[in-house]
Amino acid sequence: MYSYEWEQLQTRLPQWVEESRKQHVHGQVAAYIPELSKAPKEALGITIMDGRGNTITSGDCGCIFTLQSISKVFTLILALMDNGERLVFSKVGMEPTGDRFNSMLKLELVEPGIPFNPFINAGAIAVSSLIAGNSIEERYARILQFFRLLAHNDRMDFDQDVYESESATGHLNRSLAYFLMEKGILRGKVEDVLEVYFRHCAVNATCADLARMGLILAYNGYDPIRNEQLIPRRYVQIAKTFMTTCGMYDASGHFAIQVGLPAKSGVSGGILTMVPGRYGIGVVGPALNRMGNSTTGVHLLETLSRELDWSMF
C-alpha cells in the first residue's frame, strides 16, 4: 500500500533527524525580539504529508512557531489573486538578489526603483499593501482566512506578543516602507501596511500546518484531500518559481544546488517545502545559520534530497 520511499522515510527519518539536530551547535536562535529568543535551540521537527493525507512526523513536531517570512509565499499568492500578474509585477520585480534579506543597497541601485522580488522584505511589504480590503482589520482577516483555508486549521492566528515586539522594534522595516512610499510603490499608509505585515508574519503554525499548506502547492493549487482547486495553478507556479530562485535568503542558490526543491524559510526556524506532485513538508529548527536559515533544517533537507533523489533538477 505504501511506497518503498514512504517506508524508507518511516524507517530512517528519526535517525536523519538526530544526525541533523547536531548541527544546532553551528547556529544561533534569532534574538532581536525576546519572544523568538526563547525558542529551543536544539529542537528539530519535520512533518511530511502525502496526497492522501498520510503523514510522517519526526522530532519536535509539537513546536509552535511564527510563520515570519514563510507567510510571504501566501500573501504573494493572495495579492496575485486580488490584483493579477500585471499589477503585482509593476510593484515588485522577479530577480533574485544575492543580497541580505533586508538590504537597502539594492533598492538604490535598481531602476525604476521597485524591489527586486517579493521575498526580500521590501518586496513583501509592497505585496502586503496590495491585499484587498477597506481596513487593516479586513485585510488581515482575509489573509488569515486564506492561511486557515490552506492549512485546514481554523485556530491559526497571530501571536500578540510577537506582533507587538516586531511592531515596537521594526525600525528597519519602517525605514524600508518609507523608502517605498517615497518611490510611489506602496499602496495606503505606511503604518497601516506595516500593521498588516507584522501581523501576518506573527501568525502561529506547526510543522503539520506547513506540510498541509505545502501540499496544496505541491499539487499546483489543488487540495488532493478535499478535492478542490484552492488557488489558480499559474499563481502557484509563480510562487514555486520564486521559492526556487529566492526562497532561502541569500543562500537560495546554494539550497537549489544542494536540495533542489522550492522552499521558503523564516527567521523563527521554520521551512516550508515540498516534493512537487507528491508531498508537502514542514520543518522547524530554531538555530539559524548566518544566512538566516535553520541550520538543522537545511541539513535535514540536504540529507533527504541526497538520499531520496528529490532534486527537481
Annotated binding site for substrate: 69, 121, 166, 173, 197, 249, 267
Instruction: Check 140, 163, 197, 235 and give the catalytic one.
Output: 197
Least Cβ distance, residue 35 to a copy of itself (angstroms): 18
Binds a copy of itself (CB under 8 A): choice among 121, 250, 261, 298? 250
Paired sense of beta strands 65-66 and 55-59, if any: unpaired
Q: What is the spatial order of strands in the sheet that 279-284 belongs to?
A: 55-59, 45-50, 279-284, 270-275, 263-265
- C-alpha span between 256 and 61 (Å, rounded): 25
- Residue 114 is a binding residue for a copy of itself (CB under 8 A): no
Rule CB under 8 A: is residue 246 a binding residue for a copy of itself?
Answer: yes
- Among the listed residues 20, 29, 58, 72, the single catalytic one is 72
Q: Is 132 in the site for a copy of itself (CB under 8 A)?
A: no
Interface with a copy of itself, residue 257, by CB under 8 A: yes
Among 77, 238, 261, 275, binds a copy of itself (CB under 8 A): 238
236 catalytic residue (yes or no) = no
Q: Please give the single-letter amino acid code of residue 45.
A: G
Nearest to 113 by CA among 29, 26, 195, 180: 180
Indicate which single residue of 182, 189, 229, 307 sits in contact with a copy of itself (rule: CB under 8 A): 182
- Binding-site positions read 69, 121, 166, 173, 197, 249, 267
92 phi/psi in degrees, rounded to 5: -140, 150
Residue 207 CA to residue 30 CA, distance in Å, equals 19
Grid cell locating 204: 502561529
Candidate segments 9-17, 105-113, 208-216, 267-275, binder of a copy of itself by CB under 8 A: 105-113
Name the residue among 255, 264, 269, 244 with its Cα closest to residue 305: 255
Q: How far apart are CA 233 and CA 70, in angstroms?
A: 19
Q: Which is nearer to a copy of itself, 65 or 179 (CB)?
A: 179
CB of 229 to a copy of itself, least distance (A): 16
Residue 147 is a binding residue for a copy of itself (CB under 8 A): no
Phi/psi of residue 211, each to 5°?
A: -60, -40
User: Interface with a copy of itself by CB under 8 A: which range of 63-71, 99-107, 152-160, 202-210?
Assistant: 99-107
Give the active site residue among 140, 163, 249, 279: 249
Q: Please say if 267 is a catalytic residue.
A: yes
3 state SS for 218-266 = HCCCEECCCCEECCCHHHHHHHHHHHHHHCCHHHHHHHHHHCCCCEEEC
Residue 121 engages a copy of itself in binding (rule: CB under 8 A): no
Residue 106 catalytic? no
Helix (H, G, I), strand (E, B) or coil at 87: helix
Interface with a copy of itself (CB under 8 A): 93-99, 103-110, 116-117, 171-172, 174-179, 181-182, 190, 237-238, 240-242, 244-246, 250-254, 256-257, 260, 262, 276, 311-313
Active site residues: 69, 72, 197, 249, 267
